[in-house]
C-alpha cells in the first residue's frame, strides 16, 4: 500500500517543478498563461494609467462620431485596457504631432494606424501587429484616363504624410515618372484629387475603402499592394509593462472573437449622408465646443499680451540701454519666427527643457500671448512716440515730473492713437487660434477637421466654420468700436 501511494505521488512530485519551469519560461517568452495559471498571473499594467497619442483623421481607425473619438484603434485600445485593468487618456493630436509628443514624453504610447518599419524600430518599441495593411491607388470617380501606374507619367499624385501610401508612392515614382505631394490629412488629399490638383491618391486600402463608401468621390483602379503591419508604439526601452499588457490583451481579444467584431463593425461601414441643415445641427455641439475654446484661448492670450505689450513698450521708449535691448530682443524673436514654430516649441520642445509636460491650452496661450505681445509692444511704442514731443516739453515746463507727464498727458493721447491697432491685433489673435489645431487644441478649425475627415464634405464644413468666424469677429469688432467711442471721446 505504501509502495502504491509513493508510486502515485511520484509523478506529481516530478510534475510540480516541470510545470513551474514551464510557466516561468512561458512568462519570459511573453506567452499568455491559460487555465489555472492565468488566474494566478498578475496583469502587467493592472491599476496603471497611461496617456496615448493618436491621429485626428484616419477613418476607420480613428475619427470622431457624435463628438466621441471612435474607430478600430480606439475600440481595440479601450477593450484591451478594460481587459488588462489599466486606464488610458487618449489625446487626439494628429499623426506627426503624436509621434513628436511620444518622443518628448508628453504621452506614453501611440496608436494611429502606424506601420511597423525598420526605421521606426530604431526609435520605438512596437507591439505585436494588430492589422495587416495594404496599398491601393484611387482616382476621381469621373476620371477614365488613369487606370494604372503607367498612366501616371508626368503627373502628380497625393499621399498622406507618414503613411504606407507615401512610402509606396515614393518607391515607384521614378519608375513610372510621377511626382508626389504629401498632405496632413486624408480628406485633404482626396479633395486635391477631386479638384484636379493631383490625378491619383495612394492610401491604405481600409481607409480608402471607408472613404469611398462615405462618398469621398473617388474610385479604386488597382489591386491591393502588399503593405506593412500596424502596431502600438512606445519609446524604445520604456513602458514595457504597457507593451506587454497590449500584447496580452490583443491575444485575448482575438481568442474571444471581439477582435473580429471590431473589424467587421468598421471595415464594412461608411458615413451616412445627410442634408446641409443636418450637417449643421448634428455637429452643433462640436462647433459650440470649438468656438468656446477659441474664445477662451483668445481672451487669455490677449490679457497676457496686453501686459507684455505695455511693459516692453515702455522698455522700448526708455532711456535705459539695457531695457531697450531686452525689449528689442523679445520683439525680434517673436516677430521673426512663425507662429507654428512657436506652437511646436512650447508644446513639444519646452517639456524636454524643463522636464515637465505642458498641456495644450498652456502651450497655446503661451504661443499666442508672446506672439501678440511682441506686436503690441510696437503698438505701444508707436503710440507713445506719435504724441507731439512738444506735449512733453510743455508739461515739464509747467513743473510736472516725467512720471506725471506720462500719466496725465502722454498716455491718454497715446491710448486714443493705439486703440484701432489694438482692435486689429485682437482680430488677428482670434484668427491665429486656428493654427493651434496642429498641436491638438480642440478649437473651431480642429473641430471642422474632425467632421470633414469622416463625411468628406470639406467645402460645406469650412463654409460653416468661416461663417462662424465672420459672425464672431464682426460682433466683437462692433463691441470694441463702441467701447472705443465711449472711453475715447
pLDDT confidence bin for 399, thresholds 50/70/90: confident
What is the pLDDT confidence band of residue 53, given thresholds at 50, 70 and 90? very high
Tell me: the pLDDT tens digits for 340-357?
999 999 988 898 888 888
Mean pLDDT, the chain, whole residue set: 84
Residue with cell 480642440: 442
In this structure, the number of other CB atoms found within 10 A of the CB of residue 61 comes to: 27
Nearest one of 304, 125, 218 to 296, comparing CA atoms: 304
Distances (CA, A) of 35 to 23, 38, 43: 11, 6, 15
| pLDDT confidence band for 421 (50 / 70 / 90) | confident
Cell 482680430 maps to which residue? Answer: 427
pTM, two decimal places: 0.66
pLDDT digits (tens, 9 = 90+) for 141-152: 999 999 999 999
From the candidate CATH numbers 3.40.50.720, 3.40.190.10, 3.40.1190.20, 3.40.50.300, the one assigned to the domain spanning 131-229 = 3.40.190.10
Direct distance between the N- and C-terminal alpha carbons of the chain, in angstroms, rounded to an integer: 115
Q: Do the Cβ atoms of 187 and 452 come closer than 8 Å?
A: yes
> What are the C-alpha distances in Å from 272 to residues 88, 191, 203, 210, 360?
29, 19, 22, 11, 32
Class of domain 49-129+231-267: alpha beta
Query: CA–CA separation, 198 vs 26, rounded Å?
Result: 52
User: Closest Cα to residue 84, out of 116, 26, 32, 44?
Assistant: 44
The answer to whether the beta carbons of residues 146 and 218 sit under 8 Å apart is: no
- pLDDT tens-digit series, residues 235-246: 999 999 999 999
Question: Band of the pLDDT at 270, cuts 50, 70, 90?
Answer: low
Query: Which residues in 274-306 are b (16+ Cβ under 10 Å) and which e?
Result: eeeeebeebbeebbebbbebbbebbebbbebbb
What pLDDT score was predicted for residue 42? 57
Q: Is the CATH number of domain 278-487 3.20.20.70?
A: no
Parallel, antiparallel, or unpaired for β 179-183 and 156-160? parallel
Amino acid at each position: 500500500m505504501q509502495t502504491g501511494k509513493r508510486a502515485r505521488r511520484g509523478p506529481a512530485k516530478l510534475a510540480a517543478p516541470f510545470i513551474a519551469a514551464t510557466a516561468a519560461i512561458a512568462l519570459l517568452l511573453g506567452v499568455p498563461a491559460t487555465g489555472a495559471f492565468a488566474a494566478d498571473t498578475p496583469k502587467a499594467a493592472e491599476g496603471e494609467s497611461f496617456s496615448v497619442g493618436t491621429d485626428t483623421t484616419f477613418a476607420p481607425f480613428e475619427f470622431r462620431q457624435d463628438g466621441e473619438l471612435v474607430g478600430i484603434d480606439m475600440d481595440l485600445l479601450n477593450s484591451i485596457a478594460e481587459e488588462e485593468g489599466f486606464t488610458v487618456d487618449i489625446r487626439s493630436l494628429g499623426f506627426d504631432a503624436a509621434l513628436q509628443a511620444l518622443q518628448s514624453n508628453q504621452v506614453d504610447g501611440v496608436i494611429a494606424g502606424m506601420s511597423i518599419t525598420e526605421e521606426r524600430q530604431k526609435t520605438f518599441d512596437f507591439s505585436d501587429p494588430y492589422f495587416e495593411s495594404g496599398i491601393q491607388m484611387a482616382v476621381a470617380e469621373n476620371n477614365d484616363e488613369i487606370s494604372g501606374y503607367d498612366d501616371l507619367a508626368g503627373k502628380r499624385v497625393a499621399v498622406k504624410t507618414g503613411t504606407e501610401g507615401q512610402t509606396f508612392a515614393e518607391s515607384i515614382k521614378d519608375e513610372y515618372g510621377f511626382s508626389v505631394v504629401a498632405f496632413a490629412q486624408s480628406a485633404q488629399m482626396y479633395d486635391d484629387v477631386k479638384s484636379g490638383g493631383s490625378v491619383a491618391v495612394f492610401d491604405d486600402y481600409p481607409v480608402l475603402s471607408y472613404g469611398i463608401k462615405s462618398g469621398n468621390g473617388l474610385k479604386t483602379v488597382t489591386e491591393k499592394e502588399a503593405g506593412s503591419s500596424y502596431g502600438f508604439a512606445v519609446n524604445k526601452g520604456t513602458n514595457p509593462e504597457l507593451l506587454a499588457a497590449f500584447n496580452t490583451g490583443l491575444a485575448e481579444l482575438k481568442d474571444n472573437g471581439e477582435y473580429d467584431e471590431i473589424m467587421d463593425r468598421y471595415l464594412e461601414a461608411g458615413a451616412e449622408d445627410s442634408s446641409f441643415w443636418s450637417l449643421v445641427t448634428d455637429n452643433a455641439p462640436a462647433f459650440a465646443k470649438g468656438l468656446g475654446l477659441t474664445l477662451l484661448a483668445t481672451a487669455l492670450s490677449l490679457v497676457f499680451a496686453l501686459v507684455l505689450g505695455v511693459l516692453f513698450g515702455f522698455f522700448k521708449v526708455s532711456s535705459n540701454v539695457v531695457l531697450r535691448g531686452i525689449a528689442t530682443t523679445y520683439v525680434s524673436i517673436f516677430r521673426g519666427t512663425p507662429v507654428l514654430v512657436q506652437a511646436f516649441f512650447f508644446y513639444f520642445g519646452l517639456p524636454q527643457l524643463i522636464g515637465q509636460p505642458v498641456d495644450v491650452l498652456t502651450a497655446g496661450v503661451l504661443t499666442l500671448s508672446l506672439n501678440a505681445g511682441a506686436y503690441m509692444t510696437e503698438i505701444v511704442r508707436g503710440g507713445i512716440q506719435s504724441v507731439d514731443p512738444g506735449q512733453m516739453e510743455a508739461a515739464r515746463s509747467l513743473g510736472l515730473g516725467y512720471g506725471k507727464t506720462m500719466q496725465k498727458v502722454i498716455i491718454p493721447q497715446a491710448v486714443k492713437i493705439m486703440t484701432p491697432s489694438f482692435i486689429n491685433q485682437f482680430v488677428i489673435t482670434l484668427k491665429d487660434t486656428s493654427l493651434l489645431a496642429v498641436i491638438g487644441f480642440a478649437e473651431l478649425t480642429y473641430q471642422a477637421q474632425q467632421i470633414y475627415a469622416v463625411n468628406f464634405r470639406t467645402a460645406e464644413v469650412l463654409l460653416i466654420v468661416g461663417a462662424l468666424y465672420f459672425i464672431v469677429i464682426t460682433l466683437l469688432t462692433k463691441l470694441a468700436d463702441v467701447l472705443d467711442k465711449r472711453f475715447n471721446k
